[in-house]
Amino acid sequence: MNDMTPRTIFTPAPPRIIAERPAKVVAEGVNVHYGEKRAIHDLSISIPDKAVSAFIGPSGCGKSTFLRCINRMNDTIAGCRVTGRITVDGHDIHDRNLDVVQLRARVGMVFQKPNPFPKSIFENVAYGPRIHGLAKDKTDLERIVVESLKKAGLFEEVKDRMLQPGTGLSGGQQQRLCIARAIAVNPEIILMDEPCSALDPIATARIEELIHELKQNYCIVIVTHSMQQAARVSDLTAFFHLGNLIEVGDTDVMFTSPQDKKTQDYITGRFG
């Protein structure tokens, strides 16, 4: 379970949360290249289930790239090559027999900018279940939509305007709509790529509260530029720098006494 690589420091080694929770995602020796450029160097990490793991680090450090490896979103980028082993529940996600579309249904994603489809609120959430055939009939679909919206804490706000366009909502509501859309296909893992960077503090707080609730049932991985946010919502924090995973540790420890000097400098605002 503790994949010690010489590069990565565990604070303290290994983090308690990994010992407490089963590992959902395990990466071993992952390298990512964009053409000639190496974006991630020999990365190994275990991500615990039913917990929030935060990736922090300066821009271009590879945290988003690694996040997008987990649901193989990097496949869509021309010239991007991923090597190494990433397993979800022990199954290699690069296995030939594993369908990438199925993988993405299990590993939902929420993006930096709220990106609802320019369709109605209902259609936004119903799209996923529909293409995966998750609903038996129309009432079943409605049930899934309502449940997903409730889980995303948005139902009360939109129940009277389900047929109005999702793009008409406020930024924070749009982001929660995107979370509801991700939840609707029943994922096990939710990846969030800077989900609050376009939101005001109140909307951010709502999303963070939602993340806190969702971690009861999902394995959540969040990339964030806000150290305070990582400190507030996550259980495990991983610090990336120049494509290397520098330090992984329990969030409590990472933000009070990180071991690596780079981590220390970054989280105290001395570089980055």
Partner 1 sequence: MPDHIMKAYDDDLAALQSMLSTMGGLAEEQLARSVEALTRRDTKLADIVIHADDRIDQMERAVEEKAILTIAKRQPMAKDLRNIMVAIRIATDLERIGDLAKNVAKRSHAISDPIPRRLTSGLQRMGQLAQAQLKRVLDSFAAADSEQAMEVWRHDEDIDALYNSIFRELLTYMMEDPRMIGACTHLLFATKNIERIGDHATNIAENIYYLVHGQPIRDERPKKDDTATTPFSPLNND
Partner 2 sequence: MSNNALVKKRYAAERRFKAYGLAAIGVTTAFLLFLILDIAIKAMPTFFVHEATLTVNVDPALIDAANPVAGDYLGLTKKALAAQFPDVTSRGDRKALNGILSAGAADGLQQRVLADPSLIGKDVTVPVALNSGADLYLKGYATAQLSDRQKAWLDALLEKGVISKGFAWNFLLNGDSREPELAGIKGALIGSVLTIIVTLALALPLGVAAALYLEEFAPKNWLTDVIEININNLAAVPSIIFGLLGLAVFLNIFGVPRSTPLVGGLVLALLVLPTIIIASRAALKSVPPSIKEAALGVGASHQQAVFHHVLPLAIPGILTGTILGVARALGETAPLLMIGMIAFIVDVPKGFTDAATVLPVQVFLWSDLPEQAFQSRTAATIILLLLVLFAFNALAIYLRKRFERRW
Answer yes or no whether residue 73 interacts with partner 2 by CB under 8 A: yes
Cβ partners under 8 Å of residue 100, min gap 6? 72, 75
Site for partner 1 in 234-263 (CB under 8 A): 254-259, 263
CB of 55 to partner 1, least distance (A): 16
Our CB check for partner 1 shows the closer of 217 and 256 to be: 256
CB of 182 to partner 2, least distance (A): 6
CB of 101 to partner 2, least distance (A): 5
- Whole-number Å distance between alpha carbons of 60 and 58: 6
Binding mask 134-173 for partner 2 (x = CB under 8 A): ---------------------------------x------
Distances in Å between the Cα of 217 and the Cα atoms of 10, 49, 256 are 26, 9, 28
Answer yes or no whether residue 128 interacts with partner 2 by CB under 8 A: yes
The residue whose two tokens read 């109605």 is: 120
CB of 51 to partner 1, least distance (A): 21
- Whole-number Å distance between alpha carbons of 47 and 28: 12
Peptide bond into 14 cis (omega under 30): yes
- Whole-number Å distance between alpha carbons of 34 and 78: 8
Contact positions toward partner 1, by CB under 8 A? 227-228, 231, 254-259, 263-265, 267-271
